Structure 1
């Protein structure tokens, strides 16, 4: 697609020069901070020393690319933190020839429509299975990698990769129900890993990877808190972050495994475990803008209800094309964009968030090239496009195909809507494309959506009436009006209401607490009962937002916890923050306004504004300007105005201001604590991780000792068993000896054994059929059954020099599993043997794996039973997989059970009788083996 993303203009590139680069940086700093006397040095920190935040660095990279005629890698935004590092990136980019200018090229034709949708699907696994079964070759995702190369993933490839990942997770010793964290950048590996976790019956937990070295310590401590809360047993991450992931393993006690997608892809595939609509499909952690992160529990039913409701309103179909750069750890990118595309078979065109930030025009060119119809983004993305691309050379760009641009995930700015529409109207963007929406993780993602095709509706209300009485009184006066964007009515089957502090429902145009209910609503926060209890109000979920309704549609006014109560008025911080951010000398987007409670019940108004202005006179003038802005906005002066250095204002991963964390830091006197250098952060993290690992090893010592004891008991009794097998003359004597030794071993190892149904063992010849879950199954059956049975084992064991003679002395029967013709002959031979001597015992699954679940039964045992007219006795083993799982050599004590069922007689001699006998046997075993049905349809 290189033709759809035009290259920089062809011209001779000036040689990378430190002086030229520093001049560019100084010019940008002077623009952002008029009056600042800061001067860049090669080792100045772009953020800490020069005050360049993420968006300012985006602008810097754009100027550097234009000046030096290079195209920098998207990662430069996160990895280069000093001018010296940036100069190195420029030199590396300049060493490659500048690509020639490219024409936009002809847009791709729309995708071929897929027919129908998985309306009967109850789980995400069934959605994928539906698509993979009907159009496996249909491209699901096209991902733009580096150098504008694309990778694609079809529905069939996604289903196949999920099976391999699931098999790898079982091989790592994980169990169904375990939580698995995903710390992956945008890319196809994320989708493969996500569905692999679901296929294994486990719960995915997306977390975001570290972006900047200067904030490693804070980032990893926050992610470690998430891992501890969800008790993640494994973390899937990429190779570059793996050393940091090992530190996380030390800080999160339950985290036992760290793996990369490449390692998981090499494992044998397994069938997906069946799931129900009410099972957890995702734990989505909130960004923590107003407190500690909380894990929202979302079931398959929650997710599908939201996807279907959103798709109905947006009229999604396979003819749509979704184009996105949104991060996949965020609900808007994960659920609204990816899962919605998955369900409706809309091709998803995806790029990295860093690619968008560095070159926002790439998003628009991708929409042009792929004829994108649907895209979503937070407000800042539309603002970035409008500012960065106004007046840019975008000849040939055609956005007429873009019918729905959802603007949500943060407060929607009316000015942004107007600027974006005006900037891109000349490129065919319909005026009605931008659609404000409202949602929250506790409702999966979306709750209210403006009617598509209507365009933005902006409500102007009287400022005084809203502040004094919470009344949204319409006004035509622009100067004194507050403006709020309409987010539309609730999704189908969902309801919203506005209540006062006592829970009474308020009339329209009265501001109060926003609550909702519906099929997308979470049941609460994972392992956080206190926060979950506070989430509900008489069956309605509390959003934490203030809002009002007008004509049944929603207008959000602000976060409830962030409203400042002063002189009987409710003051919202957003407008004041924007007004202060527009002042010369203040870092835009780096202003926080919040209240601090006093003993009298009112709140002190606190303003924190980041600046790099260091002249005393200029700082004093700036403080006076901030007070004047507050008087103009609230008719109140702030109680404290704090001019702080860069990176004092804390933000979430999605850029929201963490006012609660700032309030706490202010009260504790820890506001603006200087960032430690990256090497010191890594050292502190390593020390914390090492201490945690030592504690874990000490805590794991009892389990290691128990495993060693169990092996010691087995080693002590095994020679006695071998001697009995080789020396005792009769089979019944040998069986009695090893039966008693197996019983003794089971008791000494702390594995109580419950045996039921021995009375069902017939005296006449019969065939026993058991499930197979562990290496200890044979030992447990020997301990459980007082009379001899002859095990049916694979022929490879007969040639083993140690085990072969022992199995032969126990009258074991061997079958060839490789040669099909020989296997048939073996089955006939076993049928004849079954009619004489001790019963034959078949492990009908044939083999076992670490994966939970009862597998399909092979037909050999039942063929033998029908040919000799013998009864089949089902035998269910339970607990053996937990005592010793495949792939692990650390046994642990656990309860064991063996249940013997009444004999089942063949109902005939034909094929249908054989299948009926197999199914009846399997049903009996499934009822008491303690495992799910791994052979159930997807």
Structure 2
């Protein structure tokens, strides 16, 4: 294994790989996961060569230290562009495509302006769309659309002499609770997190990482691209759209390309259970899948159980699951628990709402899945109000300190000061994660986000628990997403509980009314709470970030302002002209 912690920079490692194992496969881009011969492949030597060519082109356009906005789908060009930026001494700024929705276009424009991007890089196929977006928004930076041409060489190109402190990537947060902020990720951060990843998930010769995660999301960029490439494992990538269109394609990718580690959020495993029927499991061989990493959103024990049961006949074993916790502000990986049956803690729900973990053994409690032990991180659980460290078994904000924690947010002193360099007692240098969790016997259990936790009648309620329970009990909600929020009351007391949820298909008015009534009963029976309003939306009606996280704050604002366009609105009055014009009316 290459010494990542002893390296001076990321580029030093890639140069070494090109020299020492140049013919070994680095990247494979797959269009058809059922056909192993369909992949576009680059060896480490070819990746190095293509990155030098592109870096030479970048140097003619951008001064050293400039930010380069990468608007590229999953492709060999994207991987080459990231490495080309680092070779040229530039800062890679990956982003989602502008797309056709105004909110996505605004987000990309916000990133471009915040990063002060000196140029934009896209692919030839996407060039017209990017140019139209730039012209429409008055963004005048040059747009490059390089292709990987292995016949071109730049052997005399001098790679920029970066060190561990040199800024490598601006990783913009997903924006699930606020406007996206650019985490400043250094070469040292990337090397430290890659070393942790390689040590946590050791692979044998010929095994690789791979999956479908978006290349601009930290779990995709760091977890499935940069970390395995730095460790010398190589990676296999397919597009997120291909997975969402046909979830079985992800499992075919794992089988046909010897992928030992693949990662995804909880919803992806749930989608495989609901969209890959029993008869489609036949013919799959998942026995070589060593690490099924689940992170990016709360890990649900029922989903782990359902997935294991559905794919057991394909050779999937429960110890394959590796629940984890990670975040862009810590480069990526913070904790994980590989190669064991997931540890699930059943807790007294009343105690949990009061910030205490009290295990129960009769199976009636609220379940928490362990995200494992902290990896090369110093952690504290802190009361977010008093900023005092809490005793073991108490729920509080997770604070972290370690070499993978980034240096702050790009040119945002206020947010950096509020999040980084925090002090606990006499100790300093901690990152406030904004996540609530608890340490039990050295294991981390994450309970939710501080900004998303609701206080209803003095109780601390986690929206994702209610959303998940509703999907478990009501078939019309399967395969969709919901957003449970708390909205202000007229007297300023604790908020009203509102359930906003997509349904699988349009149904007659009486069926939607019956479903809304059943959902109310589920919320009352399972949580002892009253749903003030149930709003049923068509697919796509619940806003999500580019990485799939529900934007609950945005949905709350749309509800309060009456801007939702529901199929059925029970206890809600949308603005005139919306799809449902009054309480209890459906289109």
- Superposition TM-score, scaled by structure 2 size: 0.88
Match of 1:322 in 2: 209
Cα pair distance change 1:565/1:131, threshold 3 Å = same
Match of 2:165 in 1: 278
Q: Secondary structure of the residue that 2:147 maps to in structure 1?
A: helix
1:401 aligns with 2:291: no
CA distance in 2, matches of 1:388, 1:594: 28
Cα pair distance change 1:358/1:289, threshold 3 Å = same
> Among 442, 447, 462, which residue is 2:334 paired with?
447
1:165 aligns with 2:49: no
Cα pair distance change 1:318/1:632, threshold 3 Å = same
Q: Secondary structure of the residue that 1:456 maps to in structure 2?
A: coil
> Among 568, 573, 583, which residue is 2:474 paired with?
583
Alignment of 1:283-294 (within 5 A): 283-294=170-181
CA distance in 1, matches of 2:365, 2:67: 49
Cα pair distance change 1:461/1:277, threshold 3 Å = same
Q: Secondary structure of the residue that 1:543 maps to in structure 2?
A: strand
Q: What's the CA shift for 1:571?
A: 0.8
Listed as ranges, the gaps of 5+ residues in structure 2 are 424-428, 568-587
- Offset from partner CA, 1:560-589 (integer Å, 9 cap, x none): 111111222101111222233443555753
> Among 414, 417, 434, which residue is 1:533 paired with?
417
The answer to whether the 8 Å contact 1:235/1:255 transfers is no
Count matched residues.
553
Match of 1:387 in 2: 274
1:596 aligns with 2:487: yes
Alignment of 1:599-610 (within 5 A): 600=492, 602-610=494-502
Cα pair distance change 1:204/1:317, threshold 3 Å = farther
Match of 2:91 in 1: 203
Match of 2:351 in 1: 465
Cα pair distance change 1:640/1:358, threshold 3 Å = closer
The answer to whether the 8 Å contact 1:498/1:514 transfers is yes
- Offset from partner CA, 1:493-537 (integer Å, 9 cap, x none): 443434342111112221111221111112221122222222133
> Among 141, 145, 148, which residue is 1:260 paired with?
145
Most deviating of 123-132 and 583-592:
583-592
The answer to whether the 8 Å contact 2:345/2:369 transfers is yes
- Offset from partner CA, 1:876-929 (integer Å, 9 cap, x none): xxxxxxxxxxxxxxxxxxxxxxxxxxxxxxxxxxxxxxxxxxxxxxxxxxxxxx
The answer to whether the 8 Å contact 2:379/2:398 transfers is no
Alignment of 1:44-55 (within 5 A): none
1:296 aligns with 2:183: yes
1:489 aligns with 2:382: no
Q: What's the CA shift for 1:328?
A: 1.3
Which is higher, the Rg of structure 1 or of structure 2? 1
Alignment of 1:9-158 (within 5 A): 116-145=2-31, 148=35, 149-158=38-47
1:660 aligns with 2:553: yes
Match of 1:249 in 2: 134
Listed as ranges, the gaps of 5+ residues in structure 1 are 1-114, 675-938
- Offset from partner CA, 1:740-777 (integer Å, 9 cap, x none): xxxxxxxxxxxxxxxxxxxxxxxxxxxxxxxxxxxxxx
Match of 2:521 in 1: 628
CA distance in 2, matches of 1:649, 1:195: 35
CA distance in 2, matches of 1:644, 1:352: 27
- Offset from partner CA, 1:205-252 (integer Å, 9 cap, x none): 1111256xxx43332122111111111111111223222212332466
CA distance in 1, matches of 2:279, 2:109: 43
CA distance in 2, matches of 1:351, 1:203: 25
> Among 432, 435, 442, which residue is 1:545 paired with?
435
CA distance in 1, matches of 2:469, 2:52: 53
Match of 1:506 in 2: 390
CA distance in 2, matches of 1:329, 1:200: 20
1:175 aligns with 2:63: yes
Q: What's the CA shift for 1:601?
A: 5.4
CA distance in 2, matches of 1:252, 1:125: 35
Question: Could you say which structure has the higher helix fraction?
Answer: 1
CA distance in 1, matches of 2:507, 2:42: 53
Q: What's the CA shift for 1:362?
A: 3.4
Q: Secondary structure of the residue that 1:471 maps to in structure 2?
A: coil
Match of 2:574 in 1: none
- Offset from partner CA, 1:476-507 (integer Å, 9 cap, x none): 222x3101110011112443434342111112
> Among 247, 254, 257, which residue is 1:367 paired with?
254
Q: What's the CA shift for 1:602?
A: 2.5
Question: Could you say which structure has the higher strand fraction?
Answer: 2
1:437 aligns with 2:324: yes
CA distance in 2, matches of 1:660, 1:378: 20
- Superposition TM-score, scaled by structure 1 size: 0.56
1:569 aligns with 2:569: no
CA distance in 2, matches of 1:336, 1:244: 28
Q: What's the CA shift for 1:391?
A: 1.9
Cα pair distance change 1:645/1:186, threshold 3 Å = closer
Match of 1:769 in 2: none
Q: What's the CA shift for 1:386?
A: 3.0
- Offset from partner CA, 1:756-811 (integer Å, 9 cap, x none): xxxxxxxxxxxxxxxxxxxxxxxxxxxxxxxxxxxxxxxxxxxxxxxxxxxxxxxx
